[in-house]
């Protein structure tokens, strides 16, 4: 049962950078599997000793996470296809929490901006509509 999780997944779990569904699976499994608990302890001990894997270094330093500018271009649909595919891969397959969080934040900001501009446009229209009517009748 301990082999159903890779060392990379366990390292990501310890970094709290694993997607929540997979992290929940590990938490459930570790309750019933002493071998899995031992693997987690060994990984943690290795890290405490200063020995790190390449994958762990990438996760900790968020190497490969797209920049805010690239994610903004992705949301606008103006990113080159290769880069857009890479961001999709990070979100859909890797379920990278950093990439997903940035995507969700920028998407929320974008929708807030759209709502704000709609509200502003309506406010200007309402205030100027009365002025336009008065201007026509005054002539």
* 132 pLDDT tier (thresholds 50, 70, 90): low
Number of CB atoms found within 10 A of residue 29's CB: 16
pLDDT of residue 134: 57
**Distance set, CA 34 to CA 1, 25, 37, 116, 128 (Å):** 10, 15, 5, 54, 72
pLDDT of residue 81: 97
pLDDT of residue 83: 96
Close Cβ partners of 44 (under 8 Å, ≥ 6 residues apart):
14
* Average of per-residue pLDDT values in the chain: 83
Say which range, 2-6, 76-80, 107-111, has the weakest mean pLDDT: 2-6
Cα 104 from Cα 97, distance rounded (Å): 10
pLDDT of residue 133: 59
pTM of the model: 0.56
Sign of CA dihedral 17, 23, 26, 27: positive
Taking only the tens place, the pLDDT of each residue in 29-44 is 999 999 999 999 999 8
């Amino acid at each position: 049962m301990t082999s159903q999780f890779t060392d990379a997944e366990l390292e990501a779990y310890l970094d709290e950078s694993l997607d929540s569904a997979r992290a929940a699976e590990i938490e459930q499994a570790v309750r019933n599997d002493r071998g899995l608990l031992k693997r987690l302890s060994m990984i943690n001990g290795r890290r405490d000793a200063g020995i790190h894997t390449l994958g762990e270094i990438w996760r900790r330093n968020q190497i490969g996470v797209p920049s805010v500018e690239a994610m903004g271009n992705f949301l606008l649909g103006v990113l080159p296809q290769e880069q857009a595919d890479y961001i999709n891969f990070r979100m859909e397959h890797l379920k990278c929490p950093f990439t997903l969080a940035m995507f969700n934040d920028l998407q929320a900001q974008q929708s807030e901006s759209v709502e704000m501009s709609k509200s502003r446009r309506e406010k200007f229209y309402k205030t100027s509509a009365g002025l336009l009517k008065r201007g026509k009748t005054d002539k």
